[in-house]
Amino acid sequence: MNKGKIVSIHSFRGGTGKSNITADLAAQAALAGKRVGVVDADIQSPGIHALFGLDENKMGRTLNDFLYGKCGIREAACAVGELGADSTGRTKLAGKSLWFVPSSIRGQEISRVLRDGYDFNKLNEGLQTIIKELDLDFLFIDTHPGLNEETLLCMAISDILIVILRPDSQDLQGTAVTVDVARSLDVPKLILLVNKALPKFDREDIKARFEAEFQAPVAGVMPLTFDLAENASRDLFSLTQPDHEWSLALSDLAKTVMGME
Amino acid sequence: MGKEAATENQPVAALSYSQTDTWLQTTPRYGMILSMNGLIAVIISLLIPPGFVYLIRKLDLHGTGKFHYNVTAILWGMIACLVAALLHSRLIEAGMSRGQIIREVAPISEEILKALVLFYLVRRADFNYVVDGAIYGFGAGIGFAMIETISYVVSTPEFAIGLALDRVFSANLIHATTSGIVGSTLAAAHFERGSKRVLFSVLGLTIAMGLHMGFNFMVTSDTSLLLAIVAGFVGIGCIAIIIKQSLNIQRHWISEMLGMTDRVTLGEAAVVQRIQNMDEVLAPIARQFGPDKASKTEALIYLQAEIGIKRKIAKQTADENKRAAIEMEIQRLAAKMNTLRREIGPYCMLFVRSVYLTRTSKLWDVLDARVGAADTAHAGSGLWSALSRRIKRPNPRRQQASNHDLVGKLKETFLFRDLPEDALEAIAQKIAVRKLSKGDVLMRKGENGDSVFMLYRGSVNIVTTDSLGRELVINNCGPGETIGEMALLDEAPRSATAIALVNSEALELKQDDFHALLNQRPDLALGMIQGLSSRLRFSTTYIEKTVEWSQKIADGDYSIVEDTPTIPTHSGTDEDKAITLLSAFFQMVKRVKAREDVLKKQVEKLTFEIDQARRKRDFKEITGTEFFTRIKAQAKHLREQRMQDND
């Protein structure tokens, strides 16, 4: 089976660069000619929409609307390639098959989710539907950090799980548990990705030791970079600065993901 | 080729150029050379023309032309004549008339043939300017005409002497003039670019051919011999004017380019400017320092002129390869100049520089004012003027009791070695010899210095201490070098400590005695200045190196520290010495870097530890819920379903 792979991007704690990596990964896959969907499943603290150039005004239907039965999932999907380019990076996505399902950024709607919760089966059904309707090759899910219930669901239904961590002890401890849980959920493919590694660290050393510790492949050790911080989630960094060290590492990761059977 | 011929029945005096040329039809009678008349004619043909070349060469004030290229040009002219003869006899065989050849072919073919050697010479890196081109061209023309004249002479033995004489002063000079014009325009063209370059070359050749043609027309139209000779002298005059004009241009170049880049001082440059009054410069030098120094000074002045001209030429040369070749040539000349300067010696050099520095320059006034204001010289204000006056007069002889041993030693010190014997004898009386064992301190930093030392034997390290009290070698002195001379000029304490590296011997001269000597012999001060300025040059090199190395270290390039020796040596150039001394400091930098590298390696390995007990506890907490079991089952179901869908 090559069609409709679900790739969840997860990290135990926030601030690992998860949204950036998810958006750039999806963009790279779309650039490579794949049909790609991105779902912002971080309903409690959405963020990835900014990278695709959406704000409250531009945002139409959202995942929240779908979960509460206000629309079909297809209606909540926004074609990024047709949005009309408004930045250097996103210009390159014009005409590409990339759809994005945002989470609502309205305070009211977020608090409703937190208060009432939602039907996990509905989310699951939505994901399956959008894959079929848009004939997707890949569906990337930006998950909420930690190991709450909706995240566990996303993990459970993933074909590929990418766990992002920073080389620090808190991330390591949480990632160890995440990896154990993912294994318990029989996730077929599990990849680790180290981000924000300080330049002074020996990256080969980190990769080797993490692989030994977690018994899982480390797809890359990406550097901490001020350039990316400066980007401040305004644009897709791997598209604006394709020759940057970080972008090259991300592009390698994209190839790894796309090459996975 | 034959332009004119003697008609056999005319007397020599009335010999005129006529068209009834018999030369090419007449078989040369080489036997005539053995007759008295023939011999004299050949001698005239061969000796007078080179005399013209000599005269023209004398005009080259800056002496930039090379003798061997003159010879090359003349020899080529001779060959060109033989080639032309061959060509023209072929054309006659082919049916061309003699008149046609003389008036139409020869001016073109001969000018081109003569010019070939000039095309080669102007391209050489040691070629200078229009003066060179004119002189070489003149030579090529003379060479050509010499052979031509001889071939006329052997063909008309009857009028041999007359023919030789009139040709030498007319046709010969015209050949030299036209080629001289070609040479100078080719030289000028060489410093132009693109179309201008071609234009200059073509213009020169055209003018030469035109003049040649005009002359040939004139002499083949019953013109008087006198007119031909006048034409010849007008020609040589033209070349002289061209050379004079170019010399003026070169003179500007020299003053423009002879700057401090070649370490040619203002005084020296001023002397070079007065190159036409060379005798004025050299006569007093010969009187004061002897003919050897005078001839070396002369060579030095010519060399400096050539360097100035070459610098300008290099600047004007667009082609990079050629410019590089000229730069190489300049470096070679500069090295030669430095050798000459050393041979001439500091005292004579100071004299040379001061020849034109009298009232026109402010140097002595400035020194007067400075020394007067500082009030450090016992001689007080006016010392420098006195000095400059003194060295222009032969010094009065003073008889002193001599200490031969010490005088011999003083002769090996850089400070005193150029002084005349009587001065050395005076100094020797004041000298004390200090014998040092290895490790002995000659002088100590901070002490009041009241004497200067000249190292005669051994090796002494000049050492200072850093804020932590560690020794840092800042210089190393070998035999002949002066130590502590600063104490003689200022009253400040010793700026560094001097420690004998091996068993050594130094000559000590007390400050008071030194000042007394200065009053008697102001020229000693000039030697002191020389010594101090060489020390200053070393400091400059040292600082340059420090900046260069620091820059490299800042860029993370430590390669410079790797191979340099740490043991100081006092041999080699200022630069070698600076490198050796600096390496001690940069070895420290290297150690710091090594330490830093070790630290860096430690942080590079990430330290992490996972609490395995907590990991298990957290895992159980999450997976132990009913929700988890349900979701796991659901996920399994979902996957199976998708598998089926895909199948």
User: What string of pLDDT tens digits covers the 261 residues of chain A?
Assistant: 457 899 999 999 988 989 999 999 999 999 999 999 999 999 888 989 988 888 888 888 999 999 989 999 999 999 988 876 678 788 888 888 999 999 999 888 888 888 888 887 888 889 989 999 999 999 999 999 988 888 888 888 899 999 999 988 888 999 999 999 999 998 989 999 999 888 778 888 889 989 998 999 999 998 888 778 777 777 889 988 888 889 999 999 999 988 875
* CB proximity under 8 Å: A 138-157 to B: 147, 149, 152-153, 156-157
Gyration radius of chain B over CA positions: 40
B-chain CB neighbours of A206 within 8 Å are 606
- The Cα–Cα gap between B426 and B250 comes to 47
The predicted structure's pLDDT at residue B21: 43
Q: Does B633 touch chain A (CB under 8 A)?
A: no
**Contact at CB, B622 and A202, closer than 8 angstroms:** no
Domain count, chain A: 1
Interface test with A, best of B598, B599, B608 (most A CBs within 10 A): B608
Tokens coding B207: 């003018």
- How far does A92 lie from chain B, in Å, by closest CA? 32
- What's the confidence (pLDDT) of residue B266? 56
User: Among all residues of chain B, which has the CA nearest to that of A154?
Assistant: B635
A124, A176, A185 ranked by CB distance to B615: nearest: A176
| Interchain CB distance below 8 Å, A153 and B606 | no
Structural tokens at position B541? 């090199």
* Cβ pair A177:B615 closer than 8 A: yes
- Minimum Cα–Cα distance from B608: chain A residue: A169
| Domain interval for residue A27 | 5-258
- From CA B618, how far away is CA A177, in angstroms rounded? 7
If one counts every other C-beta atom within 10 angstroms of the C-beta of residue B621, the result is: 12
Place of tokens 């006016």: B382
Residue B637's closest chain A neighbor by CA?
A157
Residue A9 phi, psi dihedral angles, 5° rounding:
-115, 125
Give B606's contacts in chain A (Cβ within 8 Å): 167, 201-202, 205-206, 209
Under a CB-based contact definition with an 8 Å cutoff, are residues B305 and B254 in contact? yes
Q: What is the pLDDT of residue B426?
A: 80
Contact between chains at A177 and B636 (C-beta distance less than 8 A):
no
Interchain CB distance below 8 Å, A186 and B636: yes
Pick from A172, A180, A186: CB nearest B608: A172
Are B635 and A213 in contact (CB < 8 Å)? no
CA distance B568 to B324: 35
* Average pLDDT of adjacent 10-residue blocks, chain B of 647 residues: 39 36 55 78 87 83 79 92 90 86 88 90 81 89 91 81 85 89 86 79 89 86 78 84 81 66 58 67 77 83 80 78 83 84 75 51 45 42 48 40 73 76 81 89 84 89 77 82 76 83 90 77 69 74 80 74 55 70 73 73 71 91 87 82 72
B243 vs B249: CA distance, rounded Å: 10
Pair B155, B4: CB distance under 8 Å: no
Strands A218-223 and A189-197, bridge-based pairing: parallel
CA B36 to CA B31: how far, in whole Å?
11
* Cβ within 8 Å, pair A205-B609: no
DSSP β-bridge partners for residue A121: none
User: What phi, psi does B302 have (nearest 5°)?
Assistant: -60, -40
Q: Which residue does chain A place closest to B604, by CA atoms?
A: A201
**Alpha carbons B388 and B357: distance in angstroms, whole number:** 9
B605, B619, B639, best to mutate vs chain A, most A CBs in 10 Å = B619
Q: Do B619 and A157 touch (CB under 8 A)?
A: no
Per DSSP, the residues of B512-535 read: HHHHHHHHH-THHHHHHHHHHHHH
**Which candidate in A177, A184, A201, A211 is best for mutational testing of the B interface (most B CBs within 10 A)?**
A177
The shortest CB-CB distance from A177 to any of B606, B619, B627 is to B619
- If you count residue pairs, one on A and one on B, with CB atoms under 8 Å apart, how many are there? 78
**Contact residues, chain A, for B609 at CB < 8 Å:** 169
Please tell me the distance in Å from A231's CA to the nearest CA on chain B: 27
- Decide if A200 and B618 are in contact by the 8 Å CB cutoff: no
B600·A172 Cβ contact <8 A: no
pTM of the model: 0.41
Nearest to B70 by CA among B123, B113, B131, B125: B131
Q: Would an 8 Å CB–CB cutoff place A212 in contact with chain B?
A: no
Contacts with A213 from chain B: Cβ below 8 Å: 610
In whole angstroms, how far apart are CA B72 and each of B128, B167, B189, B430?
16, 23, 21, 61
Q: Is A205 on the interface with B (CB under 8 A)?
A: yes
How close B599 comes to chain A (CA, Å)?
11
Question: CB under 8 Å to B69, separation ≥6 — which residues?
Answer: B121, B127, B132, B136
CATH number, domain at A35? Answer: 3.40.50.300
Using alpha carbons, select from B350, B388, B365, B368 the residue that is nearest to residue B271: B350
- Alpha-carbon gap, residue B162 to B236, rounded angstroms: 21
Residues 579-618 of B with CB under 8 A from A: 600, 603-606, 608-611, 614-615, 618
Does the distance separating the beta carbons of A1 and B619 come in below 8 Å?
no
CB contact B359 to A (< 8 Å): no
Residues of A whose CB is below 8 A from B636:
186
pLDDT of B361-377, one tens digit each? 344 444 444 444 444 43
3-state secondary structure A62-80: CHHHHHCCCCCHHHHCEEH
CA B597-B600-B603 angle, to 5 degrees, is 160
Round to whole Å and give the CA distance between A91 and B630: 44
Cβ contact, residue pair A173, B619, below 8 Å: no
What residues of chain B lie within 8 A of the CB of A200, using their CB?
A: 600, 603-604
A61 in Cβ contact with A120 (< 8 Å): no
- In chain A, residues with a C-beta closer than 8 Å to the C-beta of B613 are none
